[in-house]
Every structure is written in C-alpha cells, then in structure tokens.
Amino acid sequence: CRPTRATIATSPRVSTGLRRCKREGRRLIRQLLYVVFFVQVGLLLIVLPWWPAFWDHNYFAFAWPWLQPLLANNFVRGAVSGLGLVNLFAGFADLALVFASRDRDRATLHNGHS
C-alpha cells in the first residue's frame, strides 16, 4: 500500500489501489474500535455488579427505593454479568473476523488476485 509518488502520477490503477488501501485502513480502525468497545463494556458488566462500592451505592438505588431489593438480588447481578459475557464474546468474535479478513486479503494479494 505504499507506492512512490512517481508511480502514483503515472498509473491511475495505483491511485485507485491507494484509495482502496485508505478505505480498508479506515474500515480496520472502525472494526478495532468496535472490538475495544465490546470488550470494555463486557468487562464492566462482568465486574461492576459484584463491586459493592459501585453497585450498592448508585444513583438508581437512591432515586427509586423500590429498586434496591431488585439490585441487591444475586440473580440480577448474575444476569448483568451474563450480558457482560455476551459482550465479551461478541468483541472477541469480531476480533477473530478482523484477523480472518486480513489473512484472506493478504492471501489474495500473494496469489496475484485483485
């Protein structure tokens, strides 16, 4: 993805390839940001329900006192942690797709297909 300036100026095909390379770079960054988001949300949802300083003393428990027994229920905490596991799995699945697509793209470049 790094042609020289002389090659870009003389070959419209290389210029098109450079645009495609930039577009793929942006797509890769966007996919990696999705992965980071899912992994962070997953870790927070796994840890925060079991952290008493956060879970027992939050705004919603104080704003609606009837919600406190529900938030103190271990089954609710487990359900929230389960959602965290789902998010963590989704993040790692997206990361695997990123690596698989990069390997596929790299293989097609080495084989000479475009």
Total residue length of the chain: 114
Q: Rounded mean pLDDT of 77-98?
A: 96
Q: Given the structure tokens 């027992």, which residue do they identify?
A: 56
Q: What is the pLDDT of residue 24?
A: 80
Largest Cα–Cα separation, the chain = 72
pLDDT value at position 89? 97
Report the chain's mean pLDDT, rounded to a whole number: 82
pLDDT tens per residue, range 34-64? 999 999 999 999 999 999 888 888 888 889 9
pLDDT score for 32: 93
Angstrom distance (rounded) from CA 83 to CA 89: 10
19 Cβ partners below 8 Å, 6+ apart? Answer: none
